[in-house]
C-alpha cells in the first residue's frame, strides 16, 4: 500500500510569493480510492489548498507524517487495519498542530464515534453521503466540505499569528481583538504616546447581570460540541436554576447523540425537546438537527419549545438567530446569551435582539475558538458584554448567575 503525495516535495515547500499566503496543506485519509481522488481534485482546484498526502487507512497516514506536516487532516471513521477512532490520538500525538476533521456517514454508530473523536481532540465532524456514487454527485457535501476546511484553515492561521505576536489576517474593516476587548473594558484601544501597548487580557468574570436570568441560551458551530460540554461541566450548580437551550449546528442523529454525551459529561439531564415541551430548570435542551428550535409562551404563561420545519436561516437549520430572537421576546433582559466557536455569523441578528431587550451576551475569545466567525461577528458589532477564553466561561457564568439570585 502506498501513500500518494503532492508532486511538489514536502517538506520543504516553496515559499509563497510576496504578499500571498501559502496554501493549506491537507492530508486525506479514506479507504475509498474514489473518495480520496474526488476530494483531492475538489481541493486542488482551489488555490487555498494543497493536498500533500492521501492514505487508505490510519496506519498509512501515520507513516506519511514522517514526510509531510499537514495543516488539516480529513479522517474517515470506517477503514481497514486502523480506523479513524484508533488513528486519531496517534495522529495528533505525531502532528499536534493539525486540525482533524472527522468524515462519516449519517448513522447512529458513526455519530457516536464522531462525538467520541471530538472529545479526543478532533476539531469538527462532517457527514458524507452513504455511497461513493452519492459523494460524486452531492454538491451540498462538496460545498460544506470546502467551506469548513477553508474556515478551519483561516482560524488556525489566525491563532498561530496570535501566538506568534504577529498581526493576524482580518477581513477588511474588522476591529482587532485588542480593540474589542478594550471597548468591553471601557479602555482606549490605543495606549498613550510613548507607552507600550497593553496585552489583550479578557475580563475575569461576566459583569453583574441586570436581573436574575431565567434561561441560558447558547449558539455554537465548528468546534462547538467540545466547547459546550466544557462550559456546562465547569459552570457549577447554578445552572440547576434555569433551563439551558443550545443550538449547535449539526445534522440529524448527531444532535441526539450530542445531547446524550452532554448528559454523561456534565451530569445534567440533556435531550432534544419535543414540540410543546415545557422548558424546565436544570435541563439542557439541544435543538434537533434539520429542524428549528423556537421558544414560545402559551396563553397560560408556560414557556415551551416549538420544533418546526422551516427553510434554513443563514444556511443553517437549526439556526441560532431564530432561537435568540425568541429568547429576547420571551425572556427579555432575563435571557443570558452565549456564543461559542463557529464559522459564519449565525446568531448576530439574534444577538442584536437580545441586546435591545437588555440581555447580557458573552462570547468566546479568538485565541480559544476553532473558528472566530460567530463570536467574532458579535464582538465586532459591539454586542458582547464579555469576551472570555473558553476555560473561564463556565466559572464566570456560574458566578454571575449565582450572584444575581
b/e for 149-184, b at 16 or more Cβ within 10 A?
A: bbbbbbbbbbbeebeeeeebebeeeebebbbbbbbb
Q: How far apart are CA 223 and CA 342, in angstroms?
A: 6
- Give the orientation angle of helix 254-266 with respect to helix 224-234, to 10 degrees: 30
Residue 386 to residue 238: CA distance in whole angstroms: 19
Which of 30, 71, 220, 249 is labelled catalytic?
Answer: 249
State the cell numbers at 101: 476533521
Is-catalytic flag, 221?
yes
Return the half-sphere exposure (C-beta side, CA atoms, 13 A cut-off) of residue 266: 31
Distance CA 330, CA 97 (A): 43
Q: Which helix (H) or strand (E) holds 103?
A: strand 99-105
Closest CA to 29 of 49, 54, 63: 54
Strands 303-308 and 292-297: antiparallel
Q: Is 349 a catalytic residue?
A: no
H/E/C letters for each residue in 232-283?
Answer: HHHCCHHHHHCCEEEEECCCCCHHHHHHHHHHHHHCCCEECCCCCCECCCCC
Question: Of the listed 104, 221, 369, 396, which one is catalytic?
Answer: 221
DSSP assigned state of 193:
T
Half-sphere exposure (Cβ direction) of 185: Cα atoms closer than 13 Å: 19
Determine whether 292 is an active site residue: no
CA distances from 331 to 113, 237, 281 (A): 37, 21, 14
Residue whose C-alpha is closest to residue 148's, from 76, 92, 230, 221: 221
Catalytic one of 321, 326, 346, 349: 346
C-alpha 101/C-alpha 66 separation (Å) is 20
Catalytic residues: 221, 249, 346
Amino acid at each position: 500500500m502506498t501513500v500518494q503525495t503532492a508532486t511538489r516535495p514536502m517538506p520543504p515547500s516553496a515559499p509563497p510569493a510576496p504578499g500571498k499566503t501559502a496554501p493549506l496543506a491537507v492530508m486525506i485519509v479514506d479507504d475509498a480510492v474514489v473518495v480520496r481522488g474526488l476530494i483531492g481534485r475538489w481541493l486542488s482546484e482551489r488555490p487555498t489548498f494543497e493536498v500533500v498526502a492521501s492514505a487508505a487507512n490510519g496506519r498509512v497516514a501515520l507513516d506519511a507524517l514522517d514526510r509531510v506536516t499537514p495543516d488539516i487532516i480529513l479522517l474517515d471513521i470506517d477503514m481497514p487495519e486502523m480506523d479513524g477512532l484508533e488513528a486519531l490520538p496517534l495522529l495528533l500525538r505525531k502532528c499536534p498542530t493539525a486540525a482533524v476533521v472527522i468524515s462519516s456517514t449519517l448513522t447512529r454508530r458513526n455519530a457516536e464515534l464522531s462525538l467520541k473523536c471530538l472529545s479526543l481532540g478532533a476539531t469538527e465532524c462532517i457527514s458524507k453521503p452513504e455511497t461513493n456514487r452519492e459523494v460524486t454527485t452531492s454538491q451540498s457535501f462538496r460545498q460544506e466540505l470546502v467551506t469548513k476546511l477553508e474556515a478551519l484553515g483561516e482560524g488556525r492561521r489566525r491563532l498561530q499569528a496570535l501566538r506568534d505576536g504577529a498581526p493576524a489576517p482580518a477581513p477588511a474593516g474588522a476591529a482587532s481583538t485588542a480593540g474589542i476587548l478594550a471597548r468591553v473594558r471601557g479602555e482606549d484601544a490605543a495606549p498613550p504616546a510613548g507607552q507600550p501597548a497593553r496585552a489583550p487580557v479578557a475580563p475575569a468574570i461576566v459583569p453583574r447581570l441586570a436581573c436574575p436570568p431565567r434561561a441560558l441560551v447558547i449558539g455554537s458551530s465548528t468546534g462547538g460540541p467540545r466547547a459546550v460540554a466544557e462550559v456546562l461541566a465547569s459552570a457549577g450548580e447554578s445552572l440547576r436554576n434555569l433551563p439551558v437551550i443550545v443550538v449547535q449546528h449539526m445534522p440529524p442523529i448527531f444532535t441526539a447523540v450530542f445531547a446524550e454525551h452532554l448528559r454523561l459529561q456534565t451530569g445534567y439531564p440533556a435531550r432534544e425537546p419535543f414540540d410543546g415541551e415545557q422548558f424546565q430548570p436544570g435541563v439542557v435542551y439541544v435543538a434537533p438537527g434539520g429542524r428549528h428550535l423556537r421558544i414560545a409562551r402559551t396563553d397560560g404563561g408556560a414557556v415551551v419549545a416549538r420544533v418546526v420545519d422551516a427553510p434554513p436561516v443563514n444556511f443553517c437549520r437549526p439556526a441560532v438567530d431564530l432561537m435568540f430572537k425568541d429568547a429576547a421576546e420571551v425572556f427579555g433582559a432575563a435571557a443570558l446569551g452565549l456564543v461559542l466557536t463557529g464559522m459564519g455569523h449565525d446568531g448576530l441578528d439574534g444577538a442584536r435582539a437580545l441586546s435591545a431587550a437588555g440581555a447580557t451576551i458573552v462570547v468566546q475569545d479568538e485565541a480559544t475558538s476553532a473558528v472566530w466567525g460567530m463570536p467574532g461577528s458579535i464582538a465586532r458589532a459591539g454586542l458582547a458584554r464579555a469576551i472570555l477564553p473558553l476555560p473561564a466561561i463556565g466559572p464566570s457564568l456560574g458566578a454571575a448567575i449565582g450572584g444575581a439570585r
